[in-house]
């Protein structure tokens, strides 16, 4: 299953890129550049985590994949039906692969020694279905909203959201990784 996830992740820019480009077209150049840098850096970070498996790669995949799915859905009004369908399908597949137990075992065991087998923790249902998705959404919003507002020259709102959002995102990433 690890190779399937790697292939899907490699295909993600090809499938979701046109929809993202269409959605970013009306944005100011600074915001376009920032969004592109964040998207590419996030994608590359997960790719590195998939190629060199470690527990941090699992955290990254489970944060970034839902973010890309949300971006694909948000891009739908600006993109064509085919671009939207490709973006949503591939990001949904990537998100589904990120939450599989096989993916967790693969990435967590990347740090194991020799014959050692590590077992990822399983979350209770309420946490897995309510708390963790909410934490992921708040992490993503906290990390990118403020800088994007600043790139849109919304100085006061961007400064306030950045000042609050980045520490909240840092705290939640630590909690999600633990």
Per-residue pLDDT of the chain (178 residues; tens, 9 = 90+): 789 999 999 999 999 999 999 999 999 999 999 999 999 999 999 999 999 999 999 999 999 999 999 999 999 999 999 999 999 999 999 999 999 999 999 999 988 888 888 888 888 889 889 999 999 999 999 999 999 999 999 999 999 999 999 999 999 999 999 8
Single out the residue of 79, 128, 83, 93 nearest to residue 6, CA to CA: 93
Name, in order, each residue with C-beta under 8 angstroms of 2's C-beta and a sequence gap of 6 or more.
Answer: 50, 53, 102, 103, 106
C-alpha neighbours within 13 Å on the C-beta side of residue 4: 12
- Give pLDDT, residue 45: 96
- Give pLDDT, residue 41: 96
- Give pLDDT, residue 101: 93
CA distances from 173 to 81, 96, 107, 113, 136 (A): 34, 20, 17, 25, 8
What tokens does 73 get? 């859905």
- Give pLDDT, residue 141: 95
Single out the residue of 176, 78, 91 nearest to residue 135, CA to CA: 176
Give me the helices (H) in the chain, please. 2-24, 29-51, 55-74, 81-98, 101-108, 125-126, 132-151, 155-177
């Amino acid at each position: 299953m690890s190779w399937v996830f790697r292939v899907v992740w490699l295909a993600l820019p090809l499938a979701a890129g046109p929809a993202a480009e269409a959605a970013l077209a009306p944005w100011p150049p600074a915001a376009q550049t920032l969004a592109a840098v964040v998207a590419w850096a996030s994608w590359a970070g997960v790719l590195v985590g998939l190629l060199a498996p470690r527990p941090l790669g699992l955290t990254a995949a489970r944060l970034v994949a839902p973010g890309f799915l949300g971006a694909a859905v948000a891009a739908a009004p600006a993109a064509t039906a085919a671009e939207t369908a490709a973006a949503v399908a591939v990001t949904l597949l990537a998100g589904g692969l990120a939450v599989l137990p096989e993916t967790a075992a693969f990435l967590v065991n990347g740090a194991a020694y020799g014959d050692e087998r590590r077992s990822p923790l399983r979350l209770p249902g309420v946490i897995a279905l309510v708390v963790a998705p909410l934490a992921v959404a708040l992490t993503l919003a906290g990390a990118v909203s403020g800088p994007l507002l600043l790139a849109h020259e919304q100085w006061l709102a961007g400064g306030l959201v950045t000042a609050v959002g980045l520490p909240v995102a840092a705290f939640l990433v630590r909690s999600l990784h633990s």
